[in-house]
Structures are given as structure tokens and as C-alpha cells.
Amino acid sequence: LNYTEPYRPQYHFSPNKGWMNDPTGLLYHDGTYHLFFQYNPGGIEWGNMSWGHATSEDLTHWEEQPVAFLARGYPNNVTEMFFTGSAVADVNNTSGFGVDGKIPLVAMYTSMYPLSQTLPSGKEVLAEQQSQSIAYSLDNGKTWTTYDAANPVIHNPPTPYEMEYENFRDPFVFWHGETQKWIAVTALSKIYKLLIWTSTNLKDWSVLSEFGPKNAVGGVWECPNLFPLPLSSNDSDNKQITKWVMVLGLNPGGPPGTIGSGTQYFIGDFDGTTFTPDSGSVYPGNETANWLDWGPDFYAAASFNGLPAGERVNLAWMNNWQYGAAIPTDPWRSAMSIPRRLSLEMVNEKVTLLQRPHENLQSIMGHSDVSHSWNTVSEGSVDLGSLGKAFHVSLSFADHDSDSSRASEFAIAVRGSFDFEQQTLVGYNFTSKEVFVDRRVSGDVAFDGTFGSIYHTALAADCDGRVDLRIFVDWSSVEVLGGKGEVSLTSQIFPDGDSTHARLVSVEGSTGDVDIRVNGVASVWE
Ligand code: FRU
């Protein structure tokens, strides 16, 4: 593949051509990671929604596969679009779709019907209706058969929500070991509710409970994910506690300082029927939320089914509905974030969802191109030379209380032009104790009035008084993971091709105990 167009991500997945939005149907099965994605095979704007497909053995090298579900009737007479959903391996063949001992992979997705019609199953749907359907594959995800005999398997929203049939979507299905049943979570987007469903065979579903509205309720609620994670504890008795995490997207209504879409989560318990958030995870009113990412470009986060118990890896659409269709890329639009490993830990006495870069990324990182320590970086800047366009930075430094000789801010400028008139700043404000990403002069920002902004979130120093930042830079993105992964800030940038310069900047004073390590990241497309 010749992935050298301007802004083409070198180690993030992007479709060869065409529009992409949500990751969907993430599944690890039989040694292969499957990434499906909302896809328009006919253009670089949203439309003709189909499921594109890519596979990987290691979560870093992806191979694009033929479209898994092509919008029915594409291109001239689309009668069904395949919206976001999820996928499972039905290892016990509860669905009966398996033949000759082959394990069926089953996808559950939202059917969006642009026109009212009577379906092959005899069911009738209204124009713009959203219902939940299933399909199966007997060749490890290569080809799929929609279950036309009975689709949609969840035809209408339950009483009293029948009127919400145009905003009823994004089933996330998983096997619940304790009750030996399938569970699915769907969104009633306009009324900020999630519904939890159960089934023994993936075909017949009944509703169990509902969740929401809680915390942030801007725009619509979409793309729920529900999964268990062990809570790492330092307790001497070492007893293992499992908590459940509910992740969902909001559009618009992302974190403070962003415009457009964003992702929030809740931590709580799930007993097979009801998700009950911990009191520490819910805030009065609808203003505060637990944000999974504080940047503008991390939406429709989804996690892989099929990993060993206790493991979760997620990734998200690295774009934003505010300007998604205006970003200056061609002949594709949008990329996925890096894969991140999720864990739950106590941070400042609060159960917190951590995101760490997946360890496989190590395999595409080069040796340390720059590795340096300073006792003190004085006021001003330290030139780091050219770092290229795709690299990883590990940066740490001492936090300090501001006194007159100490800096007010410390930052690294990446993807800078020779004169740093163009740059993206990733840094820390010692007064507000916030990490920030400033993309105001990051390159092409003109395609949307809200794009050139600063994003920030609180990050406390670790117990040694240090601030740790891991920064993943690609040809058109910057992902910052702070601390142990308790904060994440994901942003697209569109710098000039020759903006490869970097420097450290200590503002209004000096910064102590600075360590930096930079690794080039290899293209995964060569
Ligand atoms: C989220 C979303 C989903 C929907 C899909 C359609 O980005 O709006 O709710 O299923 O995109 O492409």
C-alpha cells in the first residue's frame, strides 16, 4: 500500500478510501482481531452505511477486507443501512447457526430502514425506523448471512417507548457467564436511556432493565459498551473485586472545552439484570461526568469481545461529528485511535478507568532517537531537532508549586515548522495542575471555526511528585495519555508535511527533573 498521501495515518487504521465512522463488532477470535467500522463505500461523507472490515494478528498491522455488510440496495436504492453494533463468537452454538461443528460468529447491529417496507420476515417497519438485527458467519468473519427469516430480532422499542423507534440503536452484545445468558445493551438516544436485554439464543430477546439519564446528557446517547474489569487493589487480603463499566457516546455534548461529540463512562455493578452505578460515579444535576477522553476526537469508543476474562482493549473513532465531514483528507476520511488496554485502579481514592497504550505498539517503535535528562530546563526553549511525523514521546518532569523562579507551564511543541509558527503544544500548567493540548496553530484549522482550540484536564502528579505524559504523534493526530493512564486527550491535527520539528518550552521560569525519550514509529502499511 502506498500510504503517503498528506495526513495519511502511518500506524492508525484508516480505510483505503471512503468515509469511516464508529468502530463496531470488535472481536478477537481464533488468533485474529476483527475491526468492523461504519463505512460509506461510495464517498467520503456519511451515507450508504455499511460495515467495512479489517483484520489483524497484532492490533497494529491491519489488513482491509471486503465489506462485510453492504447497504442493502446500494448504490441506487438503499433500503437498509447497517448501523453500529457488536459481534460475538457463539462457541456453544446457542443460536443454532453453526453447522458441522463450525463456530458461528454472530453480529448484532442496528438496521436503519430509510423507507417503510414489509421485510422478508413479514415484519413491517416505518420510514427512518431503527431496529436490531443479527447475521452470522461460518468462515471466521469473511462472509456473512443476515438472518432474514426473522430480522429484525428486536423490532420495536418496548412499552412505553414505542415512539422512540427512530432513535433506538447500537446493540452491544456479550456473554454473561454468571447467568449463562446473552446480554445486549441498546440506546434510546433522544431520551438518554439505555435498555438492557437478555437472550438464550441471540434470536429471542426480552428487556430486563433501563439505565439513565445520568451525568452528561447533551445531544443524544449512542454506542453503549458494558463490560467487567477487575479492580486492582493493594489490599493485603488481596481479594479480587470485579466492577462493571458502562461507556457511552454523547453527540453533541462532549467534555468541557470541546464542541461536538464525546465519551463518558460509569463504574458500578451488574447483576445480570440491572446496571447500578457506584455513588462515586454519579453526580447531581447533569453537568459533570466521567470523561473517557478530554480531547475533541475520541468517539464511539468500543471494546473487543473475545479476550481472556478480565482483559479489555478499546479503540475509538478519532474524529468528531462537529467537523468530521470537513477534515482535509482524501480519498478517505477518519482513522481509529491506537488500541488501549483498560484497567481499573484507585487513583486519588477514586475507582478510575485507566487507558494504557496496548503493549503490542512496542513492536513498531524504533529505538530511542532522543533520550535525555536535565536537572533543570531554564526559561525558554530546548530544540529537539526534527523528530519526523510519526513518533512516540515519553516525557516526565517534576511538578512544583509556583514560586518566582519556577515555570508557569512546561510543554513540548510537536509537528512544528522550522520557525514554530506552526506547532501543536502538549504541556502542563503548574498553576491549574492541568495537562493541555493546544492545536490553535497546528496546521490547517480553517475548515471548521471550532477546530483551532485548546483542550485540557486536571492531572495530579504521581506520588513521587512527577508528571508523566505519553504522547503518540502520527501524520494527523496527537494522543496524550497522562499519569498511569487516568487521563487521555485525543486530537486530530493537519500540519504541513515538513512540520517535523520539536522543542521543549519552559514558560516564565524553569522546570526541574525533565526526562524525555522519543521513539520513531514505523509505518504499518509498508
Ligand atoms: C454514532 C452513530 C451511531 C450510529 C452510527 C451511524 O457515531 O450515530 O449511533 O449507529 O453512528 O453511522
Among candidates 36, 11, 163, which has minimal Cα distance to 87? 36
DSSP assignments along 500-511, one per residue: -EEEEEEESSBE
Report how far ligand 1's centroid is from the alpha carbon of 283 (Å). 27
Report how far ligand 1's centroid is from the alpha carbon of 351 (Å). 29
Report how far ligand 1's centroid is from the alpha carbon of 300 (Å). 8
Which residues have C-beta within 8 Å of that of residue 345, sequence separation ≥ 6? 231, 232, 351, 352, 354, 484
Mutate-to-test residue for ligand 1 from 40, 81, 169, 225, highest number of ligand atoms within 8 A of CB: 169
Pocket (CB within 6 angstroms of ligand 1): 21-22, 38, 49, 83-84, 110, 169-170, 222-223, 300
Q: Which residue positions in the chain have pLDDT lower than 50?
A: none
CA distance 524 to 359: 15
Mutate-to-test residue for ligand 1 from 83, 221, 299, highest number of ligand atoms within 8 A of CB: 83
The predicted pLDDT at position 239 comes to: 73
Mutate-to-test residue for ligand 1 from 170, 317, 336, highest number of ligand atoms within 8 A of CB: 170
What is the model's pTM? 0.97
The total number of residues shown for the chain amounts to 526
**Terminal Cα-to-Cα distance of the chain (whole angstroms):** 6
Instruction: Cell 437478555: give the residue.
Output: 198
The predicted pLDDT at position 2 comes to: 85
Q: What radius of gyration, in Å, describes the C-alpha atoms of the chain?
A: 23
Instruction: Cell 426473522: give the residue.
Output: 150
The predicted pLDDT at position 237 comes to: 61
Query: CA 484, 438, 329: angle at the middle one, nearest 5?
Result: 100
Catalytic residues: 22
Report how far ligand 1's centroid is from the alpha carbon of 22 (Å). 7
CA distance 209 to 375: 57
Task: Return the SS3 of 324.
Answer: helix
Among candidates 152, 176, 28, which has minimal Cα distance to 83? 152
What residues form DSSP beta bridges with 473? 391, 478
CA distance 298 to 361: 19
Task: Return the SS3 of 362.
Answer: helix
Instruction: Cell 527533573: give the residue.
Output: 513
Please report the atom of ligand 1 found closest to the CA of residue 299. 7
User: 52 near 21, Cβ under 8 Å?
Assistant: no
The predicted pLDDT at position 402 comes to: 64
pLDDT digits (tens, 9 = 90+) for 183-193: 999 999 999 99
